[in-house]
Structure formats: C-alpha cells, structure tokens
Amino acid sequence: MTDPTVPTCSTSPLAEELRRKIRDRGPLPVADWMALCLGHPQHGYYTTRDPFGAAGDFTTAPEISQMFGELLGLWAAAAWQLMGAPVPVRLVELGPGRGTMMADVLRAARVLPAFRAAMTVHLVETSPVLERRQRETLAAAGVPIAWHHDLAAVPDGATIVLANEFFDSLPVHQAVKSVAGWHARTVGLAPDGRFVFDVGPEDPAVAAQVPEFWRSAPAGAIFEWRDDAVVQAIAARVARQGAALVVDYGHVDQDLGETLQAVRAHDFVDPLQNPGEADLTAHVDFCALARAAAAAGARVDGPVTQGGFLRQLGIATRADTLKAAAPQKAAEIDAALARLLDPAKTGMGSLFKALGLAHPSLLPLPGLDPAP
Ligand code: SAH
C-alpha cells in the first residue's frame, strides 16, 4: 500500500515535460515554474479548466455574491463621470474568470444609460476554456465585447480597468539569502524525480531586486517580487485618460517571507507536487504596485481593505434591497455579506485590498478613502 504521507511523483504530461526541462537546462526559477504550471499552452492549470465554485478549487468574490460586481459597476460608472464622461470609453477587465463579475458590472451600469452606450468592453484572458465560459455568460450582455490575450492589444483611448484576483496569479520571483549573498530560488529535482526547492548561484542581479534595507538579512531569508510591467502598462494608460481598480489579497507593508501557495479542492496543497493540477498564487505586494504605478505617472488612491471599500460603496444598503426583494434568500445574502466583509486576519474583508489608479487631475475615486 502507498504511504499517503510520502509525496508521490506526478507522471502527468506537464510533470514529465518539466522534469525534462530541468534535466536539460537546470533548475527553473520559481517565476518560470509558476508561469508554466498556470499558463502552459497545453497543460497549464488555467489552460485546461474552469477552476471556480464549490465543485472546483476556489471561490472568488464575484462568485460569492452579485453584490460585488454590481458595486464595481457603480464604481466604474462613477469613475466615468469623474473622467468627464468620455465617448467612447473602453471598459477593460483583466482575468475575468467565468465572466460573472462583468455580467454584474454591466447590469449595474444600466443606472447610467449614457455610460453603457459609450462603452466597448475588452476582456483580457489567456485561458481558452475560460474565454469560452465568458462568451456564454456574456452572450446577452447587449454591449460590444472583444477578447484579447494581452492588455497591449486593447486599443488606446479613455479606459477604465478592473482586475479582481488577477495579480495574485501573475508569476512571482523569489530570492533566498545565504551567508554569501542573494540567490534565485528555483525548483529542481530530487534523485527520486520529485520536484524540490533549490537555489541558484550567488547572483548580484538577484540582490539588486531586494530593497537595500533588507540586503543584509540573515541567511535563509526569502524576498518575493513581481515584474512591474503589467501595473506600469495600466498606469501609463490611466495617466493618459482613465482610472483602474485592483482588488486582490496581499499586504500593504513590504516584508520578507514567501507566500507562494497552491490550492486544490478548497484545500492548501504542496505547490511543487502535481504541477498544473492546483491553483498557484502568491500575495500581492500593494506597496510595490503603488510605487510602480506612481512612477508610470498615475495617481494612487488607497489601498484600503476590501471591507472598507465595499462599505464605502454602500454594500449594506445593497444587501438590504436584495433581501427586501427576496426575503426567502435573506440568510444566504447575509452569509455572502459576512464573507465579503470578514474582518479576521485571513478573511476577505481584511486580507483583500482595493487600490485605485487614476489620471492625476481626477477627483478621488469612490470607495478608496483610507479614513472615511
Ligand atoms: N477575476 C476572476 C478570476 C480570477 S482567477 C474572479 O474574480 O472570479 C485569474 C484569472 O486570470 C483567470 O481568468 C485566468 O485565466 C486569468 N489569467 C491568469 N494569468 C493571466 C494573464 N497573464 N493574462 C490574462 N489573464 C490571465
């Protein structure tokens, strides 16, 4: 009988390909591991499945309640007015999952018919399975929708960008400190073929990524960062004409430590076993996002906690309206509200943050006042 406590060697096509790659070219940097596990063109986690919901691996805020997307729809309508109601306007969503949030956003945007009439929707999605799902969800949306693999493919012009739980799925780099200096953290192979964490040679280019005041951290310290390219591209667009909202889980104060995690069937699993079969994410460093966005010319509003953001946008009133319209669903609506606002350290209301980016001359974006 197999001992369930001993990790077995995955023999999936992706695991075999990653093993070959590591044998041929040496251990893979953690960011490459994450990018391949999630986005490999044939066998990547997102390439091959719809991971959401109770029967899937994890549940996101728009899948918990329609209130989330509706409030983001009102946020977008308010942002459009702050921008001077430009026509046309591009409403962009990065990583739209099942399309649930955009469906709720567009329904709520009916409160401002001129906004709906002015918009073209652009969904940036790399997964063919999820793109199909989004096309089904949004078939009757009533506004023009285009799909792209990359934000760069969205035509320029006045833009509103929404991104929920998108940045956490972008590859994260890790550096490890030794007595000699900083090294890239990598994934290599144990003699029995299992994937194991490893470290590359001491590397000044890796050290240069670590903020100066942490460079002399004790041996064993880990520092994590993401490339700034995506947030810079968003910031450069909104600095021309627009606004953006990023909601994700993560921290406001930069710190040492690693947060790479794998989730499968709503449970944490080993991020190195069964590549391509579990969702791999890492916390978003909102301090780094804000710094990169400001350097690219955007004004930064927030970050605030998701709980603070949704409260400022009036989620309690929206919940009351929904309960009055469907009293038999009151308990369900209250449970969703409690989950979205959960103030516990690991609850969505507190661990998740909302960050706004805007053209520098815009009035403050709604919901992002740090001390309302
Ligand atoms: N926003 C959705 C889904 C979050 S999961 C929700 O809140 O429910 C992450 C989403 O980002 C998925 O749709 C995934 O396919 C997509 N994605 C991951 N990496 C991407 C990339 N580099 N470019 C575009 N989409 C990406």
d(CA 173, CA 225): 5
Structure tokens at 44: 């990547």
Collapsing DSSP to helix, strand or coil, 332 comes out as helix
Query: Which 8-state DSSP code applies to residue 52?
Result: B
Query: Which amino acids bring their CB within 6 angstroms of ligand 1?
Result: 46, 60, 62-63, 95-97, 101, 124-127, 130, 164-166, 169
From ligand 1's centre to the CA of 192, what distance in Å?
34
From ligand 1's centre to the CA of 202, what distance in Å?
34
- Contact 262/268 with Cβ under 8 angstroms? yes
d(CA 349, CA 63): 15
- Contact 152/122 with Cβ under 8 angstroms? no
Q: Which of 15, 75, 8 is nearest to 277 (CA)?
A: 15
- Contact 314/344 with Cβ under 8 angstroms? no
d(CA 62, CA 106): 13
Does residue 240 surpass a pLDDT of 50?
Answer: yes
Q: Which atom of ligand 1 is nearest to the CA of 51?
A: 5
From ligand 1's centre to the CA of 96, what distance in Å?
6
Cross-strand pairs, 145: 121
Q: Which atom of ligand 1 is nearest to the CA of 63?
A: 8
CA distances from 153 to 92, 150, 186, 301 (A): 11, 6, 32, 26
Q: Provide the phi-psi class of 97: left if phi over 0, else alpha when psi is between -120 and 50, else beta.
A: left
pLDDT at residue 7, rounded to an integer: 56
CA distances from 343 to 134, 352, 353 (A): 31, 10, 12
**CA-closest residue to ligand 1 atom 10:** 95
From ligand 1's centre to the CA of 167, what distance in Å?
8
d(CA 122, CA 143): 11
From ligand 1's centre to the CA of 247, what distance in Å?
12
* pLDDT single digits (tens) 196-207: 999 999 999 999
Does residue 1 surpass a pLDDT of 50?
Answer: no
Measure the CA angle with vertex 277, ends 274 and 279; round to 5°.
115
pLDDT at residue 355, rounded to an integer: 98
Among 40, 60, 65, 126, which residue has the most ligand 1 atoms within 8 Å of its CB, making it the best to mutate? 126
pLDDT at residue 124, rounded to an integer: 98
Which contiguous run of DSSP H or E holds residue 300?
strand 299-305
From ligand 1's centre to the CA of 168, what distance in Å?
9
Q: Which of 269, 275, 125 is nearest to 194 (CA)?
A: 275
pLDDT at residue 55, rounded to an integer: 84
Does residue 4 surpass a pLDDT of 80?
Answer: no
CA distances from 138 to 97, 146, 155, 177 (A): 12, 11, 21, 48
Among 169, 230, 247, 348, which residue has the most ligand 1 atoms within 8 Å of its CB, making it the best to mutate? 169
Collapsing DSSP to helix, strand or coil, 312 comes out as helix
d(CA 304, CA 49): 32
CA distances from 245 to 25, 127, 161, 207 (A): 39, 22, 6, 31
| 335 alpha-carbon distance from chain centroid | 24
pLDDT at residue 2, rounded to an integer: 44
Q: Which of 211, 149, 220 is nearest to 183 (CA)?
A: 220
Length of the chain measured in residues: 372
d(CA 350, CA 306): 6
* pLDDT single digits (tens) 79-103: 999 999 999 999 999 999 999 999 9
pLDDT at residue 6, rounded to an integer: 54
